[in-house]
A = this chain, B = another copy of it.
Amino acid sequence: MDILKINNLFAGYGDKKVLKDVSMNIKRNKITAIIGPSGCGKSTFLTTLNRMIEENGGNFTGEILYKDEDILSYEKDSIRKNIGMVFQKPTPFPFSIYKNLTYAPIYYGITSKAELDKIVETNLKEAGLFDEINKDLHMLATKLSGGQQQRLCIARALTAKPEVLLLDEPCSALDIKNIQNIEEMLLRFSRDYTIIIVTHNLAQAKRISDYTAFILDGELIEYEKTEKIFTNPIDSRTKEYIEGIYG
């Protein structure tokens, strides 16, 4: 089943066109990887999906259907609640871990202490952080290590109870261990969430994703099962990219 349907999407900033006529459907409860050289429009694509692009001074035309309804017909807040996002650089809010995780739930009206505690616990567990930092819930989140911060940001995104999770190069600043942790977590998540991940690391895309989309210069060149793309790409440019001709 397709949770997101993207039809003839054009996006850009001011006069600058970035995405050109992208159409693709995102499968529910699968991991979709977006690959492509730097500057090709991967981040722009992600931010279009939850309308964050508007915050960055960009705009888009074309149709994006979330659960078969135009995302423009949702409230901005509610589309972002449903489609969560995690950025490349982990930036926890400068509060305690606990407060980072209750920030969104409180906004969505949850006030009971017990319920909040529960949310914190569940999401930390989901992100595989609970055992590591269980005792220090009131420690400043900015004191966590890079990988922990990134996982915390993912946990924080989960607190808004999204159905889709967008990840923009979540591992680029991390070391092996943390990358492994996060990859395991993402694989676990795909039971409950739909995940779209941008990565410049082809090996990573190969390891974890079900589908892979290759974007070049704002155009969607190829979108296929990951296996297929990495073994037998149709487009020659995809082949070249995967073989490392481009960066």
Contact = CB atoms under 8 A, between A and B. Distances in A.
Contacts of A9: none
Residue of A172, A175, A179 with highest tally of chain B CB at under 10 A: A175
Interface string A227-246: 00000000000000001111
Contacts of A204: 244, 247
Nearest to A172: B38
Interface in A171-189: 171-176, 179
Interface in A33-73: 37-40
Interface residues of A, number: 23
Nearest to A201: B247
B244 A174 contact: no
A1 interface: no
Contact of A179 (B146, B202, B246): B246
A43 to B, nearest CB: 12
Nearest to A179: B247
A169 to B, nearest CB: 11
A5 interface: no
A20 interface: no
A143 to B, nearest CB: 15
Nearest to A171: B247
A202 to B, nearest CB: 7
Contacts of A207: 244
Interface in A185-222: 201-204, 206-207
Given A179-B246, A179-B247, A247-B179, A39 B174 contact: yes
B206 A175 contact: no
Contacts of A243: 203
Contacts of A176: 37-39, 246-247
B247 A203 contact: yes
Interface of A: 37-40, 146, 171-176, 179, 201-204, 206-207, 243-247
19 contacts: A37-B175, A37-B179, A38-B172, A38-B173, A38-B174, A38-B175, A38-B176, A38-B179, A39-B146, A171-B247, A176-B246, A201-B247, A202-B244, A203-B243, A203-B244, A203-B245, A203-B247, A206-B244, A207-B244
